[in-house]
């Protein structure tokens, strides 16, 4: 997020882990303004079911902006059922080119249980190389922890929960109050 528009706003760690035929998306519940925790129970991971296809989305950034993007993504998925990559690319194109959407301050992790994408307002639709993706204030901590835990015997949910705990122990903008969604 731009510090000029949103001074002192921090929060959110979203992590996606693919392992053993499952994809787990976990998000913490903390929203902070500067050194103040404004809310510890925010729900930043959502399950969408456009056209009967389950899709899980985690978001970081402005909540109102993220909900605008979730609505747009859901419409894209309804017009291209079962085509997650196409819907994400179409959303990223609109996000980058549309005068209104271009100002939205958020990032998304999107999965249908097979594919995982990080979608940004810069027009990026990125697939993780190592079956792990993370965004938000504590994203780098969660990503590093999850990549290290992939060498363990933990299942996808175990890796996600352990990595989020590590991120919460390190990042002051991340808490241990998790929302977890599982596909697969």
Catalytic residues, which ones? 12
168 belongs to an annotated ligand binding site = yes
- CA-angle at 46, arms to 7 and 122, nearest 5°: 50
Residue 119 has phi, psi (to 5 degrees) of -120, 130
174 belongs to an annotated ligand binding site = yes
Q: Are 75 and 68 in contact (CB under 8 A)?
A: no
139 forms beta bridges with: none
Nearest to 91 by CA among 118, 129, 114: 118
C-alpha to C-alpha distance for 100 and 32, rounded to whole angstroms: 26
Contacts of 26 (CB under 8 A, 6+ apart): 14, 15, 16, 17, 45, 58, 160, 161, 164, 178, 179, 180, 181
- CA-angle at 17, arms to 13 and 19, nearest 5°: 165
- Known binding positions: 168, 171, 174
- Residue stretches of the annotated binding site for Na(+): 168, 171, 174
């Amino acid at each position: 997020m731009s510090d000029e528009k949103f001074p002192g706003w921090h929060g959110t760690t979203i992590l996606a882990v693919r392992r053993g035929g499952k994809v787990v998306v976990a998000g913490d519940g903390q929203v902070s303004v500067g050194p103040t925790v404004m809310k510890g129970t925010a729900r930043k991971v959502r399950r969408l079911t456009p056209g009967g296809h389950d899709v899980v989305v985690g978001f970081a950034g402005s909540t109102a902006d993220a909900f605008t993007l979730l609505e747009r993504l859901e419409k894209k998925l309804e017009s291209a059922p079962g085509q997650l990559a196409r819907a994400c690319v179409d959303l990223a194109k609109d996000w980058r080119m549309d005068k209104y959407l271009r100002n939205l301050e958020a990032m998304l992790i999107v999965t249908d249980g097979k594919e995982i994408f990080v979608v940004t307002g810069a027009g990026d639709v990125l697939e993780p190389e190592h079956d792990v993706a993370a965004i938000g204030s504590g994203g780098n901590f969660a990503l590093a922890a999850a990549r290290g835990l992939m060498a363990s015997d933990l299942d996808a949910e175990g890796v996600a929960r352990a990595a989020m705990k590590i991120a919460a122990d390190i990042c002051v903008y991340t808490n241990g109050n998790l929302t977890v969604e599982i596909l697969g």
